[in-house]
Structure 1
Amino acid sequence: MLAEAHGTFGHTADTAAGMATFTRARVVRFTTLAVGAGCIALGVHALLTALGSTEEQGDWRIALMIVVFVPLAAMIVACLVGRGVHLAAGVFAVAYPIALLAWPLATAGSQPAPDDGPWIWLLLNIATVAAVLAFPFPLQIAWTVLVPVQYGVVRLAQAEFAPEFWAPVILDVVYAIILATVLLTLDRVYRAVATRVDRARVDAVASYAAAAAADAAERERIAVAALMHDSVLAALIAAERADSPREHGLAVAMAREALTRLANAEQDVGEGPDAPIGVGELVERLERGAREVGIELQADRILVDETLTIPGRVGRALALAATQAVANAVEHAASAGLEVTVSDGDEPGGVVIVIRDHGTGFDLTTVPDDRLGIRASIYARVAAVGGRAHVAPTARGTTITLEWSPPA
């Protein structure tokens, strides 16, 4: 069940990144939609008020409406479609303070009422929210405080700092700062909660993956134990009871078959035909196997006889064992100094494959008994076809030599 559940998840880097931002992305989308809806309501109200305003001079009113409402419309569209929100919100967050700076000039000579706020006041908190959508946290705090304060200074300057304006303007500024702080806090809280949910999801998927891997490893150990009981034990019993040369030969054949099946226990590899294959095809299989483990490898050929052929089962065993050695070098030595050499054997018709890397090496005696990468996939696999494998780890790297010679 765990393995099936684990198989339903993607395991690419893009998928992992998507899971890590799943909830946060939806919180951000919900926030932009809510801001877009609020901007529509406040924007329509401010637009209708601006059309009937008498505080500004005619040309100034048109210029201010263009500076304010065009970026606002772009911000609303961006929030609704979910595209270009940062840019559009940033433009409005900058355009609004510029319009505020021009407000005293636009309203010069007018007689404002202390209790009636101008239409530009209605868009004050939209500017602070736009900063939340567009700017980093320090600038968000700056806009939350400074833009309302700027409005208060501009409003008092318009009224020439008349005493009756101080109380209502200060109340407007405090109200705007409180509302902007609440909106900023809500945004930060929602994003932090979403981030924690995404982190918990990633941890949960990782734990399920680890459980699935442990379950697969346990299944493999059970399969190998059953194979040992059925095949290897039968071969040992046959060898113990053999009395004649023919029975000895059959026992050896059973043992060889058991070793081959044990070597192939971790993957579905059949014996296949035993037609001879050339060393060139052997090298191609090895290079193809290296690509499957994630590395482009070109083996060096040092061959006296380029037409050398070996039995098909021998070629398959050597290619799989060499691929396992390459996989070990990729996993444990990060492919440092990895090179593969294929050459003639000491005896006519033989072949030698040498895999070297420049990793830190390892101690063969410390490899756990349940790890089959060397014992089964290299030693047993090569021994099953009558070959020899030698692993020589040192502090400056590891050399694995695979040899096969035709029987006398």
Structure 2
Amino acid sequence: MTLDRLDAPAPRLVVRLPDQGWLGGVCAGIAAYLGVSPLFLRLIFIVLASWRLTGVLAYVLVWLIVPLMSDAPDAPGLDAHRRAGLRPQGAAAQAHGPGDWGQLIALALFGSGLVWIVQRSGLGLPTNWFLVGVLASGGLALVWWQADHASAKDLKASDGPFAWLLPLLANWTTALALGVGLLAGASAVVLTAMLLPLGEGAVASRTLAAIGLALVGLAALAAPWLLRVRRALVQAREARIVSDARADMAAHLHDSVLQTLALIQKQAYEPHEVTRLARRQERELRTWLYGTEVPMATLKAALADAAQDIEDDFPVNVEVVVVGDAELTPQLAELVKAAREAMLNAAKHSGAPLVDVYAEADADHVEVFVRDRGRGFDPAAVPEDRLGIDKSIVERTRRHGGTARLRSSAETGTEVTLEMTR
């Protein structure tokens, strides 16, 4: 059902939880997402790793692809709650108890025994290549683990081109782990170059192979930083877009809604003026929120714009209803000007609080009715020097192929009918 989809919560993201895991937080993150025990997933990875290091490769790929919990984007509204102090900045790291250490030792013994059985049975990798895989994966794990635990605060507070190194060298244990990881990776590169079947005495080929493998290794070691930088850039761009949208909204509300409210407070004892200001602001706000503004190249848009001008200048409400629509040709533009003049006369002289405008357009004909229920007048008694009706309405419409009729009485008000063929 559509309502179920609308009411459903936003989908959760898979994130790594290194503070709740032993290495990269892969098993802890996936287990939290699936609602299963991390021990179950760790056993699966260990079993896969015993056969040609398949589980190690899978773990490394997931480690590389899945973001850290601190790097994952928040759901809408959570960032605002954090800024307001209603949400903690982050969960504290969970200390591993004796039971966790016992589980780690048991898993390590189980994995070592399983690997030994597979290797002895001949189903695993050759010994030399197995050693290369262990060195490479161990080096990657140490370096990437340090990348995950590098302090973002220390990084932001540091300046200079090598500021990103400071969190990694914050203490001797971190530097030692990083050095061991780099040494293990370099050893894996050298062993791989020596094991390649390039023939005897192919010194140059082995040197080139070692250089190529070293570049690949450096790219693999730098992958966590590159991905975190990319995610940080994306988040910064999204934050800038949100900030710009908030600034635009604040400016629009200040220039429109707040100004209108100030005018309403000053004219609180003039109900007609308050109503006019409120209706005008409602129309502008709906147009801004929902994008209902119609391009000015149509009859409907031109009549609405003319009515808005009248409402802005006089304390009247102009209700516009248009059935159908038509492209605003030069002839119809003159018809709109005549209709605007009729609205202006009604606003200035009728005394009515409301002016109704009804337009109907079909394939070959357009009609516009402008009516008020205020004080009517005798068209024959209009002085000759008052040219609003004759020149701006009747003759203007006639010059462009249309007709204009006027009917007015003191009891029912005034109605102007404009017709034109397309």
Question: TM-score if structure 1 supplies the norm length?
Answer: 0.29
Question: TM-score if structure 2 supplies the norm length?
Answer: 0.28
Q: Which has the higher contact order (CA 8 A, sep 6+)?
A: 1
